[in-house]
């Protein structure tokens, strides 16, 4: 583990997270956290002086198809695979109590 992350800090984070950690898990997580911090230190070396802030690293565009109006299903088509039906309606178990 690095000097920034020690076993006591990992145990403290585990306690705050309400996670019980074994000694082996403390060692493993400590190394992983140290690696993450090392990566952030590496990122701090980058010159971002003239880089505009952005929400995404790549420009995104909507890839969804346009909505097209079509005929609706008939009640018979919609209810064809219904496990239970009552007339032209789906029949479902009652979920609300008497007072609702």
The structure's pTM equals 0.49
Q: H helices within 17-95, ranges in order? A: 23-44, 75-78
Q: What is the pLDDT along the chain (100 residues), one digit of tens a residue?
A: 667 899 999 999 999 999 999 999 999 999 999 999 999 999 899 998 998 888 888 887 777 888 899 999 999 999 999 999 999 999 998 888 776 5
Fold classified for 7-44: Histone, subunit A (1.10.20)
| Interacting residues of 10 by C-beta distance below 8 A, sequence separation 6+ | 1, 21, 26, 29, 30, 33
């Amino acid at each position: 583990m690095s000097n920034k992350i020690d076993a006591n800090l990992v145990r403290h984070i585990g306690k705050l997270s309400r996670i019980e950690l074994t000694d082996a898990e403390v060692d493993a997580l400590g190394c992983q956290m140290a690696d993450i911090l090392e990566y952030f230190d590496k990122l701090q070396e980058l010159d971002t002086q003239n880089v505009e802030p952005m929400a995404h690293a790549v420009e995104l565009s909507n890839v969804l198809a346009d909505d097209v109006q079509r005929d609706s299903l008939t009640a018979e088509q919609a209810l064809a695979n219904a496990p239970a039906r009552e007339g032209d309606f789906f029949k479902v178990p009652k979920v609300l109590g008497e007072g609702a």
